[in-house]
Amino acid sequence: MNKYKTIRNYLSNYGIFIVLLMLIIFFSFTSENFLNPLNIFNILRQVSIIGISAVGMTMVLLTGGIDLSVGSLIAVTGVGIAKLMLQGLHPVLASLIMLAVAVLIGLLNGFFINRLRIPPLITTLGMMTSLRGLAFIITGGLPVFGFNSNFAKLGQGYVWKIPIPVLVMLAVFVIGILLLAKTRFGRYVYGVGSNEEATRLSGINVQRVKYIVYAVNGLMAGLAGLILLSRINSGQPNAGQGYELEIITAVVLGGVSINGGEGRLGFVVIGVLIMGVLTNGMIMMNVNDYVQQFVKGLVLIAAVAFDRYNQTLKEVK
C-alpha cells in the first residue's frame, strides 16, 4: 500500500516530465527532422508568446481567478503599437504606451472583480469579446503594416544563436519565479488562493494583491503582443485568437491548481514546452488544424481532471 502511495505521489509531482519525454520520443520517431536543432529553436520561439503570458496567468490562477481576455489583449497591444508607429512615434515610445494600456486593462479587470464583485470568468469573458472588437475597430479589420523593418529584430533576431523571444521568455520566468518564491508578495498570492478570508483576517489587503496580479497579467499579455507583432512584422486584429486556452492549458499542465493556492511557476515551463512540442509535432505530421484543436481541447480537459483528482486525494487524506 505504501509503495502504491509512493508511486502515486511521484506521478503526481513529476508525471509532467514523463509526459514531455514521451511526446519528444514519439515525435522523434514520426518525423526525422523533429530533433533537428533548428526545429528545437523553432519550438522555443513559437512557445515564447505562450510562455510570457503564462507567467501572468499563473499568478492569476494562484489567487483563484482566471483571465480569458489575454488573447484579445495580445491583439490590441500589437495593433495599437503598429498604429502608433505609423503615426510617427518612435517604436520604444509606442511600445511603452501600449504596455501601459495593457496594465490599465488588467487593472480594469481587477476593478470589476474587486469592486463590482463580478466573477473573474464573466469579467474576463466580456473583456475578451470587447477587446477583440476593439482590435478590429482600430484596424478596420485589415492588417497594419509598413512600419520600420528594424522593429522586426526583436521578434526575429538572435543573440548567440538563441532567438531573442526565447531570452525574453526565460528572463520573465526567472523574475516571476523569484517574485513568487522569495518575496512577501509571492506569499500573499498563495495565501489569497489558499484561503482568502483567512488571508484578509491576517491583515493583508486582498484586493490590492488581486489588482497587482491582474495588472501583471495585463503587462505580460502586452509584452507577448509586442513580441508577436515584431515576429510577424504586421499588426493583425485576429492575432492571439485562442491563445487564452493554450496559456491556461500550459499553466494547469504545469501543476497550478484551478482552485488557487497551489503550484510552482518552474513547472509551468514544462507545461509550456508540452504545448509547443505537441503543436509542432502535429504540424510535422501534417495533422490538420481541426484535429489539432480537438487534441488541445482534450489536453485541457485531461489537465483539469488530473488537478481535480489530486485535490480529491488530498481531501481524503
Domain hosting residue 301, numbered range: 33-316
For residues 116-143, give the mean pLDDT.
95
Report how many domains make up the chain: 1
Portion of the chain with pLDDT greater than 70, in percent: 94
Determine the pLDDT at residue 10: 65
Q: What confidence tier does 11 reach under pLDDT thresholds 50, 70, 90?
A: low
Instruction: Answer yes or no: is 14 within a domain.
Output: no
281: which residues sit within 8 A by CB, 6+ positions away? 23, 26, 27, 30, 31, 34
Long-range contacts of 93-101 (CB under 8 A, 24+ apart): 95/226, 98/222, 98/225, 98/226, 99/219, 99/222, 99/223, 99/226, 101/76, 101/77, 101/222
Do residues 70 and 53 touch, judged by C-beta distance below 8 A?
yes
Query: Does residue 309 or residue 155 have the better pLDDT?
Result: 155
Residue that wins the pLDDT comparison between 14 and 74: 74
- The answer to whether the CB of 29 falls within 8 A of the CB of 250 is no
User: Is residue 11 in some structural domain?
Assistant: no
For residue 6, being part of any structural domain is answered with no
What would the pLDDT profile of 210-261 be if each residue is shown by its tens digit? Answer: 999 999 999 999 999 999 999 998 999 999 998 999 999 999 988 898 888 8
Q: Given this model, what pLDDT does residue 181 score?
A: 93
Domain assignment present for 4: no
Asked if residue 169 lies in contact with residue 226, where contact means CB atoms within 8 angstroms, the answer is: no
The CATH number that applies at residue 113 is 1.10.3470
Angle at 237 between CA 226 and CA 140, to 5 degrees: 125
**Torsion-angle region of 205 (φ positive above 0: left; ψ -120 to 50: alpha; else: beta):** beta
Q: Which residues contact 200 (CB under 8 A, 6 or more apart)?
A: 206
Q: How far apart are CA 132 and CA 240, in angstroms?
A: 10
Q: Tell me whether residue 73 is exposed, middle or buried, using C-beta atoms within 10 angstroms of its C-beta: 0 to 12, 13 to 18, 19 or more.
A: buried
Q: How confident is the model at residue 18 (pLDDT cuts 50, 70, 90)?
A: confident
pLDDT of residue 2: 64
In sign, the C-alpha dihedral spanning 254, 52, 142, 145 is: negative
Task: Sort strands 158-159 and 162-163 into parallel, antiparallel or unpaired.
Answer: antiparallel
CA–CA dist 136, 141 (Å, integer):
5
Cβ distance 274 to 19 under 8 Å? yes
- Please report whether residue 275 resides in a domain: yes
In-domain check, residue 22: no
Q: Does 190 fall in a domain?
A: yes
Mean pLDDT within 189-194: 95
Would you say residue 9 lies in a domain? no
Kind plus residue range of the DSSP H or E element containing 162: strand 162-163
